[in-house]
Structure formats: structure tokens, C-alpha cells
């Protein structure tokens, strides 16, 4: 059981390091190529608008119905 817990912690640590490395590389690429930065900012803005629109819709409301107050 101790070995299994150690392996789990090891894989979580390796995954966290890989995620941090990918984040640093993607930020470096966005600073090196400005069109990529613009595309990422635009994609985040569109995702934010889409999530806000979906949050305002109720489970049984059609898309044209006014949003309910919660």
C-alpha cells in the first residue's frame, strides 16, 4: 500500500511539473508570436461569452426566452 501511494504521489508530481512546463512554453510562444496571443485572448473571450450565455439559460428554456433572475 505504501508503494502504491508513493507511485501515485510521484505521478502527480510529474504531471504537475509537465503542466507547469507546458504553461511556461505556451506563454513564451505567445510572447514570441503576437498573433498567437491575440488568438488565445479572443478564444478566452468567446468562451467567457458562451459560458455566460449558457449559465443564463434555464434547463427548459428555449434560447430566445429571457433569462430568469436567480
Q: Give domain limits for the chain.
A: 14-51
47-70 in b/e form (b: 16+ CB < 10 A) is: eeeeeeeeeeeeeeeeeeeeeeee
pLDDT along the chain (70 residues), means of 10: 95 98 94 92 96 82 60
CB 63 within 8 A of CB 57: yes
Closest CA to 41 of 26, 21, 63: 26
* pLDDT of res. 57: 82
Q: Which residues contact 50 (CB under 8 A, 6 or more apart)?
A: none
* pLDDT of res. 56: 87
* pLDDT of res. 27: 92
Distance of CA 33 to the CA centre of its chain: 21
pTM over 0.75: no
Amino acid at each position: 500500500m505504501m508503494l502504491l501511494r508513493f507511485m501515485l504521489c510521484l505521478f502527480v508530481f510529474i504531471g504537475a511539473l509537465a503542466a507547469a512546463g507546458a504553461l511556461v512554453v505556451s506563454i513564451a510562444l505567445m510572447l514570441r508570436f503576437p498573433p498567437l496571443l491575440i488568438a488565445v485572448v479572443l478564444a478566452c473571450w468567446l468562451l467567457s461569452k458562451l459560458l455566460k450565455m449558457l449559465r443564463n439559460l434555464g434547463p427548459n428554456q428555449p434560447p430566445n426566452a429571457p433569462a430568469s433572475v436567480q
